[in-house]
Structure 1
Amino acid sequence: MHLWQAIILGGFYWFSFLGVFDHSLNLLFYQPLTSALLVGLVMGDIPTAMIVGATIQPMFLGQTQAGWVITNDNAAAGIITASVVIASGMDIKSAMAVAVAVGIVMSQLTNIRMTVGSFWNALTDKFISKRQYDKLWLSTVIYPSLFKVILYWLPMTLVLYFGASNIGFFVNGLPGWLQNGLNALASLMPIVGLCIVASSIGKKGYMPFFIAGFLFAAYSGVSGIGIAIVSVILAWFDFRCQNKGEHLSLNLRSTTVEDAALSRRDLNWASIRMLSFYSNGNSYERYQANGIVATMMPCLRKLYKGDDDGLQEAMVRTSELFNAEDMTSALPVGILLSMEEQKAKGAPIPGEIISDTKAALFPPMAAVGDTLNWATIVPTTLALMCPYALTGAWWPALVVVLVGAVLCNSQAFFLMHLGYNLGNKAIKDLVQSGLINKVMSFFTVMGMFVIGGMISSLVSVSCPLTIATGKFSFAVQKELFDVLMPNLLTFIATMIIFFTIKRKNMSVIKVIFGTMIVGIILGALGIIA
Structure 2
Amino acid sequence: MLVLQGFLTILLSFWAVIDQQGFVITTWFPIMMALFMGLITGDMQTAMIIGGTFQLMALGVANIGGSSVPNWGLATIVGIYIATKTTHNIADAKAIALAVGVPVGMIGIQLDVLAKVINTYVAHAAQKAMNAGKFKKMNRILWIGPLVFGLSTALPTALVVCFGSTLVKSVLHFIPAWVTNGLSIAGSMLPVVGIAMLLQVMPAKKYLSMLLIGFFLSGYLNIPMMGVSIVGLAMAYYFYVTTVKTNTTTSTSSALSADEEGDDFDE
TM-score class, shorter-chain normalisation, is 0.5 to 0.7
Could you tell me how far 1:102 is from its partner in structure 2?
Answer: 1.7
Residue deviations 1:231-290 (CA, integer Å, cap 9, x gap): xxxxxxxxxxxxxxxxxxxxxxxxxxxxxxxxxxxxxxxxxxxxxxxxxxxxxxxxxxxx
- Between the aligned partners of 1:169 and 1:106, the Cα distance in structure 2 is 23
Change (3 A) 1:133 1:150: same
Change (3 A) 1:148 1:86: same
Residues 1:74 and 2:76 are matched in the alignment: no
Letter in 1 for 2:153: Y
- Between the aligned partners of 2:30 and 2:77, the Cα distance in structure 1 is 7
- Between the aligned partners of 1:165 and 1:10, the Cα distance in structure 2 is 18
Could you tell me how far 1:165 is from its partner in structure 2?
Answer: 7.7
- Between the aligned partners of 2:165 and 2:61, the Cα distance in structure 1 is 22
Could you tell me how far 1:152 is from its partner in structure 2?
Answer: 2.4
Residue deviations 1:19-71 (CA, integer Å, cap 9, x gap): 48953225x1x111000111111111122211221133111111222123333
Could you tell me the TM-score, scaled by structure 1's length?
Answer: 0.30
Letter in 2 for 1:25: I
Q: Which runs of 5+ in 2 are unaligned?
A: 172-217, 219-223, 227-267
**Counterparts of residues 347-426 of structure 1 (less than 5 Å):** none
Letter in 2 for 1:68: G
* Pairs aligned (count): 172
Give the structure 2 partner of residue 115 of structure 1. 117
- Between the aligned partners of 1:68 and 1:74, the Cα distance in structure 2 is 16
- Between the aligned partners of 1:135 and 1:14, the Cα distance in structure 2 is 24
Residue deviations 1:405-459 (CA, integer Å, cap 9, x gap): xxxxxxxxxxxxxxxxxxxxxxxxxxxxxxxxxxxxxxxxxxxxxxxxxxxxxxx
Could you tell me how far 1:88 is from its partner in structure 2?
Answer: 1.3
Give the structure 2 partner of residue 340 of structure 1. none
Could you tell me how far 1:167 is from its partner in structure 2?
Answer: 6.2
Change (3 A) 1:127 1:25: same
Give the structure 1 partner of residue 5 of structure 2. 5
Query: Which protein is richer in helix relative to its size?
Result: 2
- Between the aligned partners of 2:168 and 2:151, the Cα distance in structure 1 is 18
CA contact (8 A) 1:98 1:168 kept: no
Aligned to 1:23, the other structure's residue is in SS state: coil
Change (3 A) 1:119 1:22: closer
Decide which structure has the larger Cα Rg and report it: 2
**Counterparts of residues 37-52 of structure 1 (less than 5 Å):** 37-52=35-50
Residue deviations 1:275-322 (CA, integer Å, cap 9, x gap): xxxxxxxxxxxxxxxxxxxxxxxxxxxxxxxxxxxxxxxxxxxxxxxx
Give the structure 2 partner of residue 155 of structure 1. 156
Give the structure 2 partner of residue 36 of structure 1. 34
Letter in 2 for 1:67: G
Residues 1:83 and 2:84 are matched in the alignment: no
Letter in 1 for 2:37: V
Could you tell me the TM-score, scaled by structure 2's length?
Answer: 0.56
Change (3 A) 1:41 1:19: closer
- Between the aligned partners of 1:52 and 1:146, the Cα distance in structure 2 is 28
Give the structure 1 partner of residue 94 of structure 2. 92
CA contact (8 A) 1:80 1:99 kept: yes
Change (3 A) 1:165 1:73: farther
Letter in 1 for 2:38: G
- Between the aligned partners of 2:72 and 2:20, the Cα distance in structure 1 is 19
- Between the aligned partners of 1:163 and 1:134, the Cα distance in structure 2 is 41
Letter in 2 for 1:16: A
- Between the aligned partners of 1:169 and 1:69, the Cα distance in structure 2 is 35
Aligned to 1:91, the other structure's residue is in SS state: helix
Change (3 A) 1:167 1:147: farther
Could you tell me how far 1:149 is from its partner in structure 2?
Answer: 4.5
Could you tell me how far 1:135 is from its partner in structure 2?
Answer: 3.0
- Between the aligned partners of 1:119 and 1:147, the Cα distance in structure 2 is 12
- Between the aligned partners of 1:62 and 1:123, the Cα distance in structure 2 is 36
Could you tell me how far 1:164 is from its partner in structure 2?
Answer: 5.6
Change (3 A) 1:167 1:8: same
Residues 1:104 and 2:106 are matched in the alignment: yes
CA contact (8 A) 1:159 1:167 kept: no
- Between the aligned partners of 1:107 and 1:134, the Cα distance in structure 2 is 33
Give the structure 2 partner of residue 144 of structure 1. 145
Residue deviations 1:197-242 (CA, integer Å, cap 9, x gap): xxxxxxxxxxxxxxxxxxxxxxxxxxxxxxxxxxxxxxxxxxxxxx
Could you tell me how far 1:168 is from its partner in structure 2?
Answer: 10
Change (3 A) 1:158 1:41: same
- Between the aligned partners of 2:20 and 2:104, the Cα distance in structure 1 is 25
Could you tell me how far 1:104 is from its partner in structure 2?
Answer: 0.7
Residue deviations 1:102-123 (CA, integer Å, cap 9, x gap): 2111321101101101221221
- Between the aligned partners of 2:145 and 2:77, the Cα distance in structure 1 is 23
Higher relative contact order (CA 8 A, sep 6+): 1
CA contact (8 A) 2:82 2:165 kept: yes
Residue deviations 1:339-383 (CA, integer Å, cap 9, x gap): xxxxxxxxxxxxxxxxxxxxxxxxxxxxxxxxxxxxxxxxxxxxx
